């Protein structure tokens, strides 16, 4: 099975040896390069793809197109990357969900990230924070825990979708504090806790 390209969770990935072989050919790139983002436009993965695409375009002298293919926790876009030709013209942006977690969350996967994709660059690292609205009466972690004990399931937390770092950190918080909150996946890369 051939490996395809992927820019993962702030990581740029490609088939082994792809860039050196591609640069050895004078004609590469002879057409636009596509970066598939497995998430919606406007989120952090989309923004990173557009930043990287701008630099790649200037360096390679060829257009770089960002194509958003969201859905199924990143599986739809990541599958498109896995099914692409391993020729250097399709890269991808993803994260830990489609690369590591989703195989445990979904009954069926149409790609094997370990066999079909290779990471080539880490693009970013970011902290995860617990926040509430400025006018919330909850002012500390202890307040959040107490509120969930008073009204189990009465608080909710948002994430960019199942299996992502924000979803899993919320589930870890619930597990570590023996509390119950409702997970609400949002439609874009806007990640926040809501009270």
Query: What predicted TM-score, i.e. pTM, was given to this entire model?
Result: 0.70
CB-based contact 120:177 (threshold 8 Å): no
18 and 92 fall within a common domain: yes
Q: Does a structural domain hold residue 171? A: yes
Q: Cis peptide before 89, with omega less than 30 degrees from 0?
A: no
Partner residues linked to 90 by β-bridges: 34
63 and 150 fall within a common domain: no
Q: How many CA atoms lie within 13 A of 124 on its CB side?
A: 16
30 and 80 fall within a common domain: yes
Q: Does a structural domain hold residue 41? A: yes
CB-based contact 88:3 (threshold 8 Å): no
Residue appearing with tokens 């958003």:
68
Domain hosting residue 85, numbered range: 4-122
- Give the total number of structural domains in the chain: 2
The per-residue pLDDT string of the chain (195 residues; one tens digit each, 9 = 90 and over) reads: 455 545 444 445 444 445 555 555 568 899 999 999 998 898 888 999 999 999 999 999 999 999 999 988 889 999 999 999 989 899 998 777 888 888 888 888 888 888 898 888 888 887 888 888 899 999 999 999 999 999 888 899 988 777 778 888 999 999 999 999 999 987 655 444 444
Nearest to residue 78, comparing CAs of 47, 54, 56, 106? 106
């Amino acid at each position: 099975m051939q490996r395809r390209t992927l820019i993962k969770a702030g990581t740029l990935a490609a088939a082994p040896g792809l860039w050196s072989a591609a640069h050895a050919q004078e004609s590469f790139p002879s057409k636009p390069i596509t970066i598939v983002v497995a998430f919606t436009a406007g989120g952090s993965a989309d923004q990173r793809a557009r930043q990287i695409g701008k630099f790649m375009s200037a360096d390679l002298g060829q257009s770089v197109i960002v194509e958003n293919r969201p859905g199924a926790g990143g599986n739809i876009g990541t599958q498109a990357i896995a099914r692409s030709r391993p020729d250097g013209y399709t890269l991808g942006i993803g994260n830990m969900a489609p690369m590591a977690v989703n195989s445990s969350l979904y009954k069926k996967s149409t790609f094997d990230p370990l066999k079909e994709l290779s990471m080539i660059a880490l693009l970013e690292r970011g902290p995860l924070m617990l926040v509430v609205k400025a006018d919330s009466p909850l002012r500390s972690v202890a307040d959040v825990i107490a509120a969930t004990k008073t009204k189990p399931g009465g608080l909710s937390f948002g994430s960019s979708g199942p299996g992502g770092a924000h979803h899993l950190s919320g589930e870890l918080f619930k597990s570590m504090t023996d509390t119950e909150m409702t997970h609400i996946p949002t439609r874009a890369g806007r990640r926040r806790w809501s009270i």
